[in-house]
Amino acid sequence: MASLKDMPNIGPVAAEALEKVGIETPDQLREIGAKEAWLRIRAQVDPGACLHLLQGLEAAVEGIPKKLLPAEKRAELNAFFKNY
């Protein structure tokens, strides 16, 4: 079984936070999506979860390094983040 830490942008801290909210595999993260995963982390683990985590989760779902997220996706995530 693949590990969350095998995904781009997911280090030990992010993987631990994801596991604490019931997301234990890359497939689960892809199914739930970055926004929902981030909301769960923010509500249950870290009320200060930042925009960088949200962007990293989205890039992980897409299978790319965070720095390669398109500008349109970054803007969408920034707007989402500002609402929470």
Q: In this predicted model, what pLDDT tens digit does every residue of 28-58 receive, in sequence order?
A: 999 999 999 999 999 999 999 999 999 999 9
C-alpha distances out from residue 70 to 5, 21, 34, Å = 23, 27, 15
The two three-digit tokens of residue 70, written as one number: 């398109």
Q: What is the pLDDT of residue 15?
A: 97
Gap between the Cα atoms of 68 and 59, Å rounded:
8
Residue 14 in contact with residue 37, Cβ under 8 Å? no
Residues 6+ apart with CB under 8 A from 80: 35, 54
10 Å Cβ neighbour count for 61? Answer: 20
Q: In this predicted model, what pLDDT tens digit does every residue of 61-78 receive, in sequence order?
A: 999 999 999 999 999 999
